[in-house]
Chain A
Amino acid sequence: MTTLTQPVSGPGPLAAAWALIWRSRRLVERNIMVYRHQWIIILSGVFEPIIYLVGIGLGLGAIIQEVPLPNGQVVAYAAFVAPALVATAAMNGAVFETIFNVFFKLNYAKTYDGVLATPMGITEIALGELLWALMRAALYAVAMFVIMLFMGLVLSPLGILMIPASLLVAAAFAAAGLAGTSYLRTVNDFDVPMGLIVMPMFLFSGTFFPVESVLPDWLVTVIQLTPLYHGINLIRGLSTGIIGIGQVWDLLYLVVFFAICLWIAMRQMERKLIK
């Protein structure tokens, strides 16, 4: 007689992870349905980096012309600014979605209380919001990539990798936003993450000028501890084709930063939602 062998364990870890992501899609679907009547908000986000690129990149670029990169090579100012704007667009898309919208759902609309009454849990909520922020960021990244191509600002075939790289940047900031939003109490508290973290990073991460050759060393060291610097350095390396060990560090930094923030976000959401 032969005995029928039953599988001893449940689905493997990969299948379990996939099932989790598959369940999270419900939250993405919910967000898509909400935005059906507010698509202008998403679409106008595409416009923002473009207007900066034209205004600063071309307008100031006509006067500045060339910028030295850390390795000594020089590039046109517009080609210097454009990849940085891809990174800042990824950051802004992710941060606005996970700070303002998640705050509203968490504290006013009580959306997640409703979601938790379904088979979805905290993990699915966090993953769902993350996936949604990534989709938004992907739209911005692809749009900027196409525009850079047309303007001749993608200097290397490696430039195509700007798209996955900007998704990594978006994921890192979406996780950071999710982690941060649970600490905010009222709408007036938005000043703190936006004014003290996002805006200074936007200005001082090498977006508009090479920090290494302009700012004092101690400040550069501080800046190198922040995530947007690495996002910009990585994406600029890919678009200019000048990459080295630095970009490996950027990649590593962003992955670790993402993992830590996601862990904090899950823990905080759990604390906030399951009292």
Chain B
Amino acid sequence: MTVFTASGRVWQRNWLVYRRLWHRSLAFGFLQPVLFLTAMGIGIGALLTPVSLEAFGGVPYIDWLGPGLLAAMAMQTATFESTYPIMNKIMWGRNYEAMLSTPVGIRSIVYGELAWTAFRIGSLAAIFLVVLTLFGIVRTPLAILAVPFAVLIGTSFAACLIAFTATQKNDVGFSAIFRFVINPLFLFSGTFFPLTNLPEPLRAVAWVTPLFHGVELIRGSIVDQLDPVTAPIHLAYLLVMLGIGVFFAERTLARRMAG
């Protein structure tokens, strides 16, 4: 069995579990953006004057916010799916132990889990895009690119988080990751307000963080402002992050399962 067919089996295992829950998962995948866009987009949008809207490039606040939320959703869902569920398969349910006694290897597990994340984020991003279309935010057919961009964000975070999870002995560290890493990224990556409103040094920090690049790509594709100069940089950043994440995920998981 090649690495890829074995990865397919890992993917298939997740699918068999998910099959009983998919309708609920997709319903929440629809409900969440509707609630967020209504509350934050329309609610906060109502507090903005035409002058203050210039900070958002002249588009209505909800148009500016929606794509940012899509990028953030990809990060948050992928992160969550790569912490507790992966920990479960490592030590609580010990699914990986069982898999490794078959022709499935460490590499296939990592690829299979990332393929699963890609599928999950891809389907959620597609639903999100439908919601954005219903809210009249999508302006160009190019917006379809938001789905692969979201998948890239999701898998990049998932790979890094799998690498981290494999080093953890219990789930205590996950709360810290969510509150000290994911939430700050959620709030300071140009999701809710433009980074031009941050002081200069903080703006430089934002350029180093991953979600910022994801937000720029997705917003660019949805409101038709993809910049041919910066877009490849954003894309390259996330691809490198994915590569590094996979590299470490294979190593930490191999060490963990051998130990």
B187, A195: Cβ atoms closer than 8 Å: no
Q: How far is the CB of B239 from chain A (nearest CB, A)?
A: 28
Assembled-state Cα–Cα distance A38/B173 (Å): 9
Question: Are B52 and A63 in contact, with the CB atoms below 8 A?
Answer: yes
User: Which residue of A44, A62, A77 is within 8 Å of B47 (Cβ)?
Assistant: A77
* A60:B44 contact, CB within 8 angstroms: yes
Please indicate which of the listed interface residues A59, A63, A64, A209 has the most CB atoms of chain B within 10 Å of its own CB: A63
Q: Which residues of B contact A199 (CB under 8 A)?
A: 32, 35
Query: Whose C-beta in chain A lies nearest to the C-beta of B55?
Result: A63
> Given A40-B176, A59-B198, A188-B21, A48–B193 Cβ distance below 8 Å?
no
Contact-residue size bin, chain B (C-beta under 8 Å from the other chain): 20 to 34
Establish whether residues A44 and B175, one from each chain, have CB atoms under 8 Å apart when the complex forms. yes
Majority-rule SS of B interface residues: helix
Please encode chain B, from 33 to 69, with 1 for each CB lying within 8 Å of some chain A CB and 0 for all others.
0011011101110111000100100000000000000
- Is A245 at the interface (CB under 8 A from chain B)? no
| A203 surroundings in chain B (CB, below 8 A) | 35-36, 38-40, 43
Distance in Å from the Cβ of A101 to the closest Cβ of chain B?
12
Please report the C-alpha to C-alpha distance between residue A77 and residue B193 in the assembled complex, in whole angstroms. 14
Closest to A45 in B: B179
Stretch binding the partner chain, chosen from A2-10, A49-57, A169-177: A49-57
Across the interface, name the chain A residue whose C-beta is closest to B178: A44
CB neighbours of B178 from chain A (8 A): 44
Decide: B183 and A188 in contact? CB cutoff 8 A: no
Considering the complex, give the chain B residue whose CB is closest to the CB of A46: B179
Contact in complex: B187, A209 (CB < 8 Å): no
State the Cβ distance, B209 to closest chain A Cβ, in Å: 13
B44 near A64: Cβ-Cβ < 8 Å? yes
A38 touches B172 (CB 8 A): yes
Residue from A40, A55, A67, A199 with most neighbouring chain B CB atoms (10 Å): A55
Decide yes or no whether B19 CB sits under 8 A from chain A. Answer: no
Question: In the complex, what residues of A have CB within 8 A of residue B32's CB?
Answer: 195, 199
A237 to chain B, nearest CB (A): 20
- Whether B176 and A63, one on each chain, are in contact in the complex, defined by CB atoms closer than 8 angstroms, is no
Docked Cα-Cα span, A188 to B35, in Å, equals 21
B77 to chain A, nearest CB (A): 13
A204 to B, closest residue via Cβ = B39
**B39 cross-chain contacts in A, Cβ below 8 A:** 203-204, 208-209
The interface on chain A, measured as residues whose beta carbon lies within 8 A of the other chain's beta carbons, has a size of 35
- The answer to whether B179 touches A52 (Cβ under 8 A) is no
Name the contact of B193 in the complex, choosing from A37, A51, A62, A208 (C-beta under 8 A): A62
* Measured CA separation A55–B179 after assembly (Å): 13
Is there an interface contact between A191 and B28, defined as CB atoms closer than 8 Å?
yes
User: Which B residue sits closest to A196, measured CB to CB?
Assistant: B31
- Do A195 and B172 form a contact, CB below 8 Å, given A56-B187, A56-B192, A59-B192? no
Kindly provide the distance from the CB of A143 to the nearest chain B CB, expressed in whole angstroms: 13
Q: Are B180 and A44 in contact (CB under 8 A)?
A: yes
With both beta carbons as reference points, the residue of chain B lying nearest to A186 in the complex is identified as: B21
Within 8 A of B (CB), among A26-71: 37-38, 40-41, 44-45, 47-48, 51-52, 54-56, 59-60, 62-65, 67
Q: Does B188 contact A (CB under 8 A)?
A: yes
A54 — which chain B residues lie within 8 A by C-beta? Answer: 187
Known: A37-B172, A188-B21, A208-B39. 13 other contacts (CB 8 A): A44-B175, A44-B180, A47-B179, A51-B187, A56-B192, A59-B187, A59-B192, A62-B197, A65-B52, A77-B47, A191-B24, A204-B35, A213-B46
- List residues of chain B with CB under 8 Å of any chain A CB: 21, 24, 28, 31-32, 35-36, 38-40, 42-44, 46-48, 52, 55, 172-173, 175-176, 178-180, 183-184, 187-188, 192-193, 197-198
Residues of A within 8 A of B (CB): 37-38, 40-41, 44-45, 47-48, 51-52, 54-56, 59-60, 62-65, 67, 77, 188, 191, 195-196, 199-200, 203-204, 208-209, 211, 213-215
